[in-house]
Chains A and B, each alone.
Chain A
Amino acid sequence: MSSRSPHKTDHWGQPGASGDGATGERLPPKALLQRWDPRCKMLGLLGLVLAIAMVNDPALLPLVLAIPLLLALFSGLSLSFILRRLCYPSLLIVLLLLWLPFAVGDTPWRTFGPLTLYREGLAAALLIGGRFLGIVLTAMIVFNSTPLATNLKAMRALGLPWVMVDMALLTLRYLQVLKRDLQQMRTAMRSRGWRNRLQPRNLKTIAWLTGSLLLRSHERADWIYRAMRLRGYGQSDHRPSEFKVGAMDLLLLGLTMAIALLLALFNLELVVI
């Protein structure tokens, strides 16, 4: 893993213009994950996250956490970037991890005043926390090694309906524009003395702010469609596919699937560690 990296992530974590990762991480040109065919990468990711979701034995957690570690070594992403992305864990996960050890189980392990820590609850919390880290880190590393738009095109090549892909690409494109619109509108409101407090009047203001944003978007959409038609949107595309699979891509896919299969077999106790 590289220890230095000029982070170009904006508020939306969008890719930069020079082939950076999905969240703007500039990658070393030779990173293996960056060179891997995006279609094979998506299939490999699917296999890995499903295998991790299957894990029901806390003893397998070191193996689960070794998967993103291994991927990180070949991704070229810096450790600080990966850790920064983990700063916002789901509130539900935090509550579950705090609640489970004290609320679930029959075998007391430790007592802290009125609170009893149960073995079963602790094991369940470890399992959920471990699976969460394994899946989130694996997905984050894989998605950040290719621009998000390329990943979406790879999904299209794998059979995702074109309506979904076109919608996703356009949504991605206009998120930044709309975020800027919203910031401008909120600045204008604040400069007129508006403060975000819990009052019925404020709910009306927020509703109208959202309504204005929707109106602007609706009007903009018609212009966008006409511009897209002028540039050939809807015409059949005869360009050759931008993806090419080589022997190395297939080898990496086979390796990834073998790891996923091994994890599934360990979990089903068909293979003993």
Chain B
Amino acid sequence: MHIADGILQLPVVIGGFTGAGAVTWYSLHRIKHQGDPRERIPRAALLTATFFVASLIHLPLPPAGVHLVLNGLLGIMLGWFAFPAILIGLFLQAVMFGHGGLTSLGVNSLILGLPALMAWQLFHWQRDVTATPYRTGWRGLLAGSGALSASLVLFMVALLLGLPTAFNRESTLTAMAVITAAHLPLVIMEGVVTGLLAAFLQRVKPALLRGV
């Protein structure tokens, strides 16, 4: 779900960077508002690296296989650190592996980062921190699937805004439908894995689910 360099038009690129800059600024403002961030930075960085590594785990889904995105779980665990973490992760992916892109970095971080913040709110909304792992798992499933579904919607919007206007509307909509259908199994798998992970963490280390 990465938009590569060269696809988006310049106004969308600039809009993406402006939006990502604004969300990053607000996230950092909230992080500093919670006290000195120095103690939380190593934890946030290590969790960012862990998500980066975990997203490389290959799931054998025919015909080729998929990789987890885990932006919902990242939101649940990192809170306001989630957006900067996604921005950093995407930057490192673009620079180290050539995945995603530098000019599409702003748009890509909005596509994955905003749903991560949404998942954080959804997961912690009226949550009983002493709930059973089973109930926590269901919350995780909703947050994980919800975040990836929202990312998919934002991805489509960015593509529609970013592609040249001369594109045939009918064939574009067909392509969008194919992309959505191709991503649906991943949305389900992402939700299941996030739910299982939330239940696991609630059982062994509930403090990890309370944010950085």
Contacts and interface: CB of A to CB of B under 8 A. Distances in A.
Interface core residue of B6, B61, B99, B101 (most chain A CB under 10 Å): B6
Given A175-B52, A209-B57, A131 B37 contact: no
Contacts, number: 232
B33 to A, nearest CB: 13
A166 to B, nearest CB: 5
Given A132-B4, A167-B88, A170-B45, A49 B103 contact: yes
Interface in B21-78: 24, 28, 31-32, 36-39, 41-50, 52-54, 56-62, 68, 70, 77
A182 B48 CA distance: 15
B95 interface: yes
Contacts of B77: 214
Interface stretch (A32-40, A97-105, A249-257): A97-105
B181 interface: no
Nearest to B44: A167
B84 A207 contact: no
**Chain A interface helix/strand/loop/mixed:** helix
B129 interface: no
Interface in A71-98: 85-86, 88-90, 92-93, 96
Contacts of A133: 6
Contacts of B157: none
A233 interface: yes
A178 interface: yes
Given A53-B10, A139-B95, A203-B189, A221 B42 contact: yes
Contact of A178 (B42, B53, B62): B53
Nearest to B185: A198
B46 A164 contact: no
Interface string B168-183: 1001000100000000
Contact of A197 (B60, B189, B201): B60
A65 to B, nearest CB: 12
A225 B92 contact: no
B196 interface: yes
A215 B204 contact: yes
Contacts of B85: 167, 171
Contacts of B9: 53, 56
Given A132-B7, A133-B6, A170-B41, 7 more contacts: A13-B96, A124-B166, A139-B95, A175-B52, A179-B53, A207-B200, A214-B77
Interface of A: 12-14, 22-23, 49-50, 52-54, 56, 85-86, 88-90, 92-93, 96, 99, 103-105, 120, 124, 128-136, 139-140, 143, 148, 151, 161, 163-164, 166-172, 174-175, 177-179, 181-182, 196-198, 200, 203-204, 206-211, 213-215, 217-218, 220-222, 224-225, 228, 233-234
